[in-house]
Chains A and B, each alone.
Chain A
Amino acid sequence: MSFLKHRGYLLSLVALGAVLAFAACGSDNEKTSGTASPGGGAGERIQGGTLTVQNLEFQSSDPHFSNFVQDISLERMLWRGLYTLDKDNKPQVSMADGEPTISSDGLTYTVKVKEGLKWSDGQPLTAKDFALAVLRTCNPDVASNYQSFDTNIVGCDDYFGAKGTTAAPKTPTPEELEALKAAVGVKATGNTVEFKLVNPQPTFKILLSMWTYFPVPSHLLPDPGEAWPTPPSPKLAYNGPYMIQDYKPQDSAVLVPNPNWSAPNGIKPTLDKIVIKYIEKDDVSNNAYRNGELDVVSADLANLGAVKAEFGNEYFQAILPGTRAVEMELKHPPLDIFEFRLAVSQAIDRDQMIKVCCGGAYVPTTSFQPEGVGGHAPDAFKDQIGYNPDKAKENLAKAKQKFGKDFPTLGILVRDTPEARAQAEFLQNSWKTILGLDTRIDPVDSPTRSKRLNGHDYELAPRSGWIQDYPDPEDWMGKPSGLFNTGGTNNTSSCSDPEVDALVDKATTNTNDSERRDQYKKVNELITTRLCGYAPTYHEANNNILKPYVVGMKENSTAQDTRLPGDWIAEAWGRSK
């Protein structure tokens, strides 16, 4: 037995020793310091090096299909359109050879493509490739999520709707489909592309810089209905600053400079490669950042206070053109009573909510449309709809007189995430404490929430709102967003205001730029002060942590950022050491 006794101890020691030895093998690991340096991010770009950044995985790399920000973030690194937006959101020449020629009726845009452009595989990039982009976006089989960007092009809607609806399906013959395709108002002749519009559209040049207008390598994908290959693929070529060298689903993508990038802005990539790691959880990415495995990550919002304290100047907040609000379904009494909505809005201490629920990750606001895209300053409507408990109580009393009975328990529809629940609980507590209102939190997953919002099956929905597609007030207040005009595509609050409808109608086709901007600004004022479906609470922001040697991200961060600072001009990214 004594042997066995010793053998037992021995085995225990061996097992323990093996674990420790296995662990100790890693002690020579190089560990990058997480110490912040003042003004981190500044410095000149050196030639070479790798940047490893966190992002969400793209759902689709097809610029004529996708609609997720991480998709667009990637696509702008790989492809570029005829025009591109500059730091001030103004469209500048990119692949086009100068400004478009616009016909006197504003219905025909003719754009000359630069001579000598090449795809990454060395094949010529021509006007035909840009025309094919429109045909792909309008193609019913591609089923583009952003066909709305091309809806004003003659024949696009007819081609897109060629197969009818579920209720009234159509089965067009190949000849009929071909005829519909031929009728789409885009034509490549020599080195020029001609776009024919249904109505004059002052924002069309901005749209030409959007992802749905990125060219198609027609030498590889000649048919507009053809499936977009998953990169890297010999069936794909790129005209942007980078190309995909490697892609591992759920893990990473490796981008390397495109040798044929024409650098219309004069900026060429200096990095050898960009490694994009696909990480959904920010606490995980933050640990990897601490361990020196990542150079740029999204800050963990659940611990934002600690993150800011730990990383100092490495923390970077970029305000985004996105607004979150408490959405109210106006057809559900008592939300149809203006005074009730006003009381609900005035009982929200926005500053406190952002501090308590989100660690100061966002910018409190009372304006739906951000100031940077022609809207109003965050505090513009503070006196009308901002936090004021006394006025909130007064307005609730008025609403009760109109309603004539006790208020029912209202549902708060919210995504079942810790941050969303925290906001819902803050709001529930505020409405109960200040107004005595009873509410019920309905936590659901994302598709269920969307289904209920779109089906008008809710009463109050915090964290609703809008994230900008393109930097123009039209995208916020106009028909493309369809948030506030009666029957608009995204009008999930049942907002219906004749004054708003009339102004939106006027602004849609107004070719006088400053006049139409004023009209949209007035719409913002009306819908905000009348609380037409939304009580704005905060503007979105990206919260990142960047190593001090990262260059070109903070400096180029604008409202056009999607997922990463300065990702609209990733060719300017680099390392200072």
Chain B
Amino acid sequence: MTAYVIRRVLWIIPVLWAVATITFFLMHTVPGGPFDQEKQVPPAVLENLNAKYNLDKPLYEQYGLFFWDLAHGDLGVSFRSQQPVVDLIKDGWKTTAQLGVATFIFAVIFGMSMGVISALNHNKLPDYLGVFFATAGTAMPSFVIGSFLVIIFSVKLGWFDVLGWEFGNYKKMVLPMLTLGVLPSAYIARITRASVLEVLNQDYIRTARAKGLAEWVIVLRHTIKNAMVPVLTIIGPIFAFLVTGSFITETIFQINGVGRRFVNAVSERDYGLIMGTTLFYAAIIAIANLVVDLLYATVDPRIRYQ
């Protein structure tokens, strides 16, 4: 197991290198650069700006410089704000991670509850409601959900704030969490429902009932636990998706997260920030996938890694 973990961690290095290389060259292939503005800067100014950010050097040299700096733990500076990329990611990710983790907890609890309730009330009203939520939640884009929530709960009722995120302040937490959390909780509800229904039809459940076990024991000990493996499969990517930030939710509520920063960096051709955030995302996703793989072994003892 330890050898497997070490091997997987070492594999992250070439993955990150490949992601960085592809991003680097794609980024320079896209038309327009960080200093292309409608109001053209004088040639002397452009020369100095290019020199300041090493853009006057050949591409292979810029590529080498990037990796040299990266090896020294330096992701460079944002071409726009001139602030260190590491600081910008650190600032943004603190908020994004809070939003992501809070939403993840909400989505898992709410989605799994809905899924279990639906399955246990198969073809009854709660099931219909659960299926409706799972379908509508998957189909409705978050910008629609967010906009509706803002209009109803902020503008009309004045219950919550429109702007920002503040951990511990419910006025600033509820709407972003709901907006970001509806899709993953709907998805979790759908998978949980299907998985629980499948387990409920297994022979060992029938046997447990025949043995006269209490229903809550059957559900909690034998059904839900065994139904968790497929749910766990999707929880990992959902976690990675949530903690790496949502541009839409962060934009609707103007949250200073890393998702909004990343998209703005792309549209502004902020090369330094694009590279930094892409590598950061890639690292988070690679680590989340590794954690999920390791969790499989915990949940399902039949799985062994060598």
The verdict on A27 contacting chain B, using a C-beta distance below 8 Å, is: yes
Complex: chain B residue closest to A279, CB-CB: B254
A201 shortest CB reach to chain B, Å: 17
Contact A451 B48 (CB under 8 A): no
Could you tell me the distance in whole angstroms from the C-beta of B172 to the nearest C-beta in chain A?
10
Given contacts A4-B120, A288-B163, contact A467 B51 (CB under 8 A): no
- Kindly state whether residue B241 has any CB partner on chain A within 8 Å: no
Tell me if A174 is interfacial: C-beta within 8 Å of chain B.
no
- Beta-carbon contact of A160 and B110 below 8 Å: no
Residues of A within 8 A of B91 (CB): 248-250
Query: Are B56's CB and A166's CB within 8 A?
Result: yes
Closest CB of chain A to B96's CB: distance in Å?
11
Considering the chains assembled together, what is the distance between the CA atoms of A166 and B57 in angstroms?
Answer: 8
Q: Which residues of A contact B230 (CB under 8 A)?
A: none
Does A352 lie at the interface of the complex (its beta carbon under 8 Å from any beta carbon of B)?
A: no
Residues of B within 8 A of A169 (CB): 51, 56
Q: Pick out which of these stretches binds chain B: A143-151, A298-306, A311-319, A430-438.
A: A143-151
Instruction: Check B158–A450 contact: CB distance below 8 A.
Output: no
Quick one: CB contact mask for A448-463 with B, threshold 8 Å, 1 for yes?
1111111000000000
Residues of A within 8 A of B56 (CB): 166, 169
CB of B48 within 8 A of CB of A284, answer: no
Residue ID in chain B nearest A492 by CB atoms: B40
Write out the residue numbers on chain A whose beta carbons fall within 8 Å of the beta carbon of B21: none
The answer to whether B45 and A145 have CB atoms under 8 Å apart is: yes
Contact of B163 among A62, A157, A293, A445 (CB under 8 A): A293
In the complex, the answer to whether B113 meets A11 with C-beta atoms within 8 Å is yes
Q: Is A110 an interface residue (CB 8 A)?
A: no
Beyond A277-B163, A287-B151, A291-B162, whether A448 also contacts B215 by CB under 8 A is no
The answer to whether A291 touches B261 (Cβ under 8 A) is no
When distances are taken between beta carbons in the complex, the residues of chain B under 8 Å from A281 are 251-252, 254
B260→A4 contact, CB < 8 A: no
Choice from B31, B164, B253 contacting A452 with Cβ under 8 Å: B31
Closest residue on chain B to residue A450 by CB atoms: B36
In the complex, the answer to whether A15 meets B174 with C-beta atoms within 8 Å is no
CA distance A145 to B79 in the complex (A): 13
Complex Cα gap A3–B218 (Å): 13
Instruction: Give the docked Cα–Cα distance between A67 and B37 (Å).
Output: 10
Name B99-127 residues within 8 Å CB distance of A: 110, 113-114, 116-117, 120-121, 124, 126
A407 at interface, CB cutoff 8 A: no
Question: Which of B68-76, B81-89, B134-142, B276-284 lies on the face that meets chain A?
Answer: B81-89
Q: A228 vs B269: C-alpha distance in the bound complex, in angstroms?
A: 22
Give the residue of B30, B44, B126, B160 whose beta carbon is less than 8 angstroms from that of A8.
B126
Give the contacts of A41-67 with B (CB-CB under 8 A): 59-60, 62, 65, 67
| Complex Cα–Cα for A143 and B56 (A) | 13
Q: Say if the beta carbon of A31 comes within 8 Å of chain B.
A: yes
| Contact (A447, B126) CB under 8 Å given A22-B174, A291-B161, A291-B162 | no
Please tell me if the beta carbons of A60 and B80 are within 8 angstroms of each other in the complex. yes
Q: Specify which of A161, A249, A284 is in contact with B44 (CB 8 Å cutoff).
A: A161
**Chain A residues, Cβ within 8 Å of B215:** 1, 3-4
Q: For the complex, what is the distance from the CA of A169 to the CA of B56, rounded to whole Å? A: 9
B260 CB to closest chain A CB, in angstroms?
Answer: 6
Would you call B92 an interface residue if the criterion is a C-beta within 8 Å of the partner chain's C-beta atoms? yes
* Residue interface mask A174-186, B partner, CB < 8 A = 1: 0000000000000
On whether the beta carbons of A12 and B82 are closer than 8 Å, the reply is no
Is residue A227 within 8 Å, beta carbon to beta carbon, of the partner chain? yes
Min distance, Cβ A459 to any Cβ of chain B, angstroms: 17
Q: Are B82 and A227 in contact (CB under 8 A)?
A: yes
Closest residue of chain B to A157 (Cβ to Cβ) is B44
| Shortest beta-carbon distance from A138 to chain B in Å | 10
Please tell me if the beta carbons of A166 and B36 are within 8 angstroms of each other in the complex.
no
Contact A287 B81 (CB under 8 A): no
* B136-170 interface with A by 8 A CB criterion: 150-151, 153-155, 157-164, 170
Is the Cβ of A447 less than 8 Å from the Cβ of B45? no
Q: Does A280 count as interface, using CB distance less than 8 angstroms?
A: yes
CA–CA, A321 to B172, complex, Å?
Answer: 39
Q: Is the CB of B113 within 8 A of A447?
A: no
* Alpha-carbon gap, A281 to B252, bound state (A): 8
A109 at the interface (CB under 8 A from B): no
How distant is B218 from chain A, measured CB to nearest CB, in Å? Answer: 9
Q: Is the CB of B129 within 8 A of A464?
A: no
Partner of A278, one of B42, B117, B254: B254
Q: Contacts A23-B174, A448-B32 known; A160 to B251 CB distance under 8 Å?
A: no
In the bound complex, how far is the Cα of B46 from the Cα of A67, in angstroms? 13
Contact B256 A287 (CB under 8 A): no
In the complex, A367 Cα to B50 Cα: how many Å?
36
> Is there contact, CB below 8 Å, between B129 and A12?
yes
Contact of A250 among B33, B92, B110, B162 (CB under 8 A): B92
Whether B267 and A5, one on each chain, are in contact in the complex, defined by CB atoms closer than 8 angstroms, is no
| B31 near A447: Cβ-Cβ < 8 Å | yes
In the complex, how many angstroms separate the beta carbon of B210 from the nearest chain A beta carbon? 14
- B83→A29 contact, CB < 8 A: no
- Cβ proximity bits A111-136 to B, threshold 8 Å, 1 near / 0 not: 00000000000000000000000000
A144 near B36 with CB under 8 A, answer no
Give 15 CB contacts A-B under 8 Å: A9-B121, A11-B117, A15-B114, A24-B159, A25-B159, A143-B51, A145-B49, A160-B45, A230-B83, A250-B92, A287-B155, A294-B163, A447-B267, A450-B32, A452-B31
Give the top 5 A-B pairs by smallest Cβ distance, nearest first. Answer: A447-B32, A26-B159, A250-B256, A143-B48, A31-B158
Question: Which chain A residues have a beta carbon within 8 Å of chain B's beta carbons?
Answer: 1, 3-5, 7-9, 11-12, 15, 22-27, 29, 31, 59-60, 62, 65, 67, 140-141, 143-145, 147-148, 157, 160-161, 163-166, 169, 227-228, 230, 248-251, 277-281, 284-285, 287-288, 290-294, 444-454, 464, 466-467, 489-490, 492
**12 other A-B residue contacts (CB within 8 Å) besides A67-B37, A281-B254, A284-B163:** A3-B215, A8-B120, A8-B126, A12-B129, A25-B170, A27-B159, A141-B48, A141-B52, A166-B50, A447-B32, A454-B36, A490-B40
